[in-house]
Chains A and B, each alone.
Chain A
């Protein structure tokens, strides 16, 4: 007898409906699984057999054919187990009179019949809801993640028996109550600007960077607190909206790094090690295309500590996503687009020995060695980093100082105010949300420079030997500073301050 059960497959961040067709025929006992399954799907036979037996059901000693339609899409992951098990139960009439057609089944089976969590539940549910599916049965362990979707009925089952008893009405499960989204509270972040003593210049730069969505380079000796400053960036960014949170959770769900909470409420802070490969940074993989670090940092911060130590090719690969906010990973099996809209925060030492510019330690590097070290970050990449700022080495007096430092909450309030100005400004400009993302057209409209500003800008290029490519970046940062100061006009002091944040690309 033939049965049909619904499940979903994952392609990038999208779910694709899959029909699990099971047919039982008389003949020598056999199990055929077709429809381009990968190894994990193929091995479902053993899991399904044991799970059925250990749940008190029968695994038929007949010829079983399972087809995962559409047949031309590669199926990956173990989450088809539940659908296959239910399909077999139906096909062998162990679920008499039960109509499964309204349900979508997702879940991996353990040998004892328990249901294990699967990756990518959130994107699957979102796609399924968009395709008109409303009832889902999935593992208890995925319940928290699934509970955030409105307008669907989700039943979370601990094991196969519970699923069967729900279907035949013996012990119906109740649908999950909807969880309300709440952004992370400030206490949940481990960092806070109040803990960073001194560093007024760097803090100011951090604030401007977050206000305008600018990328940031922190230059300072080892142990100056560059990482600590970077960790404060998420704490001064505006709270994530539910939509932003869903975007992030989708990516983290597919990557399988979603925590207990089931939804990401804190802005991501990703800090890949400098040995990271281009694939781990941008996404890819041998089988399913997985999101890389830049996508995991979506709506948050990508922190590259000791930037010159990263492979050149890895850094250069960041250029396009930094411009577009998305990364398209192309493989022979197809192309997948992941969002990658993040604030890049990089750090580096001022010179190979780290003491250049230090007040009390002597730098032993020759000018050529310093130049060589800095040249490891290419001009085009440096061009995309609007703000470059020096971080001071920590002084003992600062550490023990009892002076009250401004906390993240106060800075965040200013950031939110500045972001609001930008939202209003760019309301009619699709795709532009922040000053950093302005194109030439918007700049001409919103960044009119007075004669005096223009003169100062010209002078700064002549005197400070800035590269001409820096001009647009300086104006954008000046716009952000003006917004932060709630000034309609860009003033000369804004231009000058913006110029002071580009010390590292003069040559």
Chain B
């Protein structure tokens, strides 16, 4: 789809890497970005005041080259990057509502996903295996009705994205330019999202990941989505920022509850106290959107399996305790636990300890 004059002007203005505040001041000089570009020479003094001498000089130099815009758009096209500008009709309506929307979204993948219903599932990097498994399962189920929005960090975000890919579509919002891959261990996941979902970034493609980009990025995750599910996060986790943003934008916020003294869930409990909706079942989420949960087939369990499953539902339990309480012999237990794992009801937490998933 060719860009309009207006969009081209926005893409060009964005290509100088100005920080967000300068960009907004610059746009405020004129009615439309296109008008600004065409009158750049006349407004020299005002523009310089807003963005400084160097940036203005760069713009002026670029304008001297008649093919500068062509080159810029060509380079994006080569990288299969689609620019969705604020004025574009592809720009998600929900994101326009937030106080500081990104000026241009650099996208790679299926751009039409921006216009679908979206729901964010976010987690932190350090989460218990059982909670990661839950994150994954929730994301998979929610993906049947929404496009899942998440980040790319390993741990919770990765679990959400993997689950979403199993059940539907996913949008991953990056805190760095599309030229990069971060964290490197998620290279394959990012490639899969690119092919079967969408990567979105507000940064120019060459921008490296920086620590302070991540909290800022979280507003986009919140802004894109109708609701946010926080599946884990400590006291100072970035998921707290996503949740706070979503709450301030008037979106529904859901969170998994955690036990007393579990550091990887302190942030979740904190937002539950303030505004989030306690969520331990998919119904909690779907009810808020008027979606009827289709009943899933009940899983058939043998008597030994259900006995073990009941014990696991009380929390993370060591195999010796399971054996003691279920009356199974230690060598009979691995088979039962493996079966429960395969049926998606249990997960190994390391150290010979197991927990129930649902």
Task: Give A residues with C-beta under 8 Å from B.
Answer: 198, 200-201, 204, 220-221, 350, 356-359, 362, 366-368, 371-372, 390, 392-393, 456, 459-460, 463-464, 492-494, 496-497, 499-501, 503
Contact = CB atoms under 8 A, between A and B. Distances in A.
A357 B350 contact: yes
A406 B352 CA distance: 20
Interface string B320-358: 100100000011101111110111100011111100000
A278 to B, nearest CB: 29
Interface in B111-157: 125-126, 154-155
A500 B351 contact: no
A321 to B, nearest CB: 30
B351 A496 contact: no
Contact of B320 (A198, A220, A356, A460): A198
Nearest to B125: A366
B351 A463 contact: no
B189 to A, nearest CB: 12
Contacts of B318: 359, 392
A487 B105 CA distance: 63
Given A200-B323, A204-B331, A368-B183, A464 B341 contact: yes
Contacts of B185: 367-368, 371-372
B94 interface: no
Of the candidates B155, B332, B339, B350, the one having the most CB atoms from chain A within 10 angstroms of its own CB is B350
A55 B278 CA distance: 97
A52 to B, nearest CB: 69
A390 B351 contact: yes
Contacts of A493: 332, 335
Interface of B: 125-126, 154-155, 158, 183-185, 263, 316, 318-320, 323, 330-332, 334-339, 341-344, 348-353
Contacts of A366: 125-126, 154-155
A190 B79 CA distance: 66
A500 B125 contact: no
A226 B38 CA distance: 74
Nearest to B158: A367
A269 to B, nearest CB: 25
A460 B338 contact: yes
- Chain A interface, DSSP helix/strand/loop, else mixed: helix
A176 to B, nearest CB: 49
Contacts of A350: 350-351
A463 B299 CA distance: 15
A350 B125 CA distance: 18
B82 to A, nearest CB: 30
A240 to B, nearest CB: 28
A360 to B, nearest CB: 10
Contacts of B338: 460, 464, 496-497, 499-500
A491 to B, nearest CB: 9
A497 B342 contact: no
Contacts of B341: 463-464
Nearest to A364: B126
A367 B155 contact: yes
Contacts of A503: 348
Of the candidates A358, A393, A497, the one having the most CB atoms from chain B within 10 angstroms of its own CB is A497
Contacts of B126: 366
B352 A390 contact: yes
B343 to A, nearest CB: 8
Given A357-B353, A359-B316, A366-B125, A201 B334 contact: yes
The 8 closest A-B pairs by CB, nearest first: A357-B350, A357-B351, A496-B335, A500-B334, A200-B330, A493-B335, A496-B338, A497-B334
A201 B338 CA distance: 14
Contact of B342 (A198, A220, A357, A459): A459
A201 B351 CA distance: 11
B339 A390 contact: no
Of the candidates A221, A350, A390, A492, the one having the most CB atoms from chain B within 10 angstroms of its own CB is A390
A500 B350 contact: no
Contacts of B353: 357, 359
A86 B342 CA distance: 76
A171 B335 CA distance: 72
Nearest to B304: A493
Given A198-B320, A390-B351, A392-B352, A367 B125 contact: yes
Contacts of B323: 200
A198 B351 CA distance: 13
17 contacts: A198-B320, A201-B330, A366-B126, A367-B125, A367-B154, A367-B155, A390-B351, A392-B318, A456-B339, A456-B342, A463-B342, A493-B335, A496-B338, A497-B331, A500-B334, A500-B335, A500-B337
Nearest to A502: B338
Nearest to A481: B331
B348 to A, nearest CB: 6
A497 B335 contact: yes
Contacts of B334: 201, 204, 496-497, 500-501
A200 B335 contact: no
Contacts of A220: 351
Nearest to A203: B330
B185 to A, nearest CB: 5
Contact of A368 (B154, B337, B343): B154
Contacts of A362: 263
A460 B340 CA distance: 11
Given A357-B349, A358-B351, A492-B335, 4 more contacts: A350-B350, A367-B125, A367-B154, A463-B342
Contacts of B335: 492-494, 496-497, 500
Contacts of A356: 350-351
A463 B344 contact: yes
Contacts of B331: 204, 497
Contacts of B125: 366-367
A496 B339 CA distance: 7
A463 B346 CA distance: 12
Given A200-B319, A357-B349, A367-B155, A460 B342 contact: yes
Contacts of A221: 351
Contacts of B348: 503
Contacts of B332: 493
B76 to A, nearest CB: 30
Nearest to B343: A463
A204 B342 contact: no
A220 B352 CA distance: 10
Nearest to A493: B335
Contacts of A463: 341-344
A494 B334 CA distance: 9
A372 B154 CA distance: 13
Nearest to A390: B352
Nearest to B336: A496
B298 to A, nearest CB: 18
Nearest to A496: B335
B304 to A, nearest CB: 10
Contacts of A367: 125, 154-155, 158, 185
B320 A200 contact: yes
B192 to A, nearest CB: 14
Contact of B352 (A201, A368, A372, A460): A201
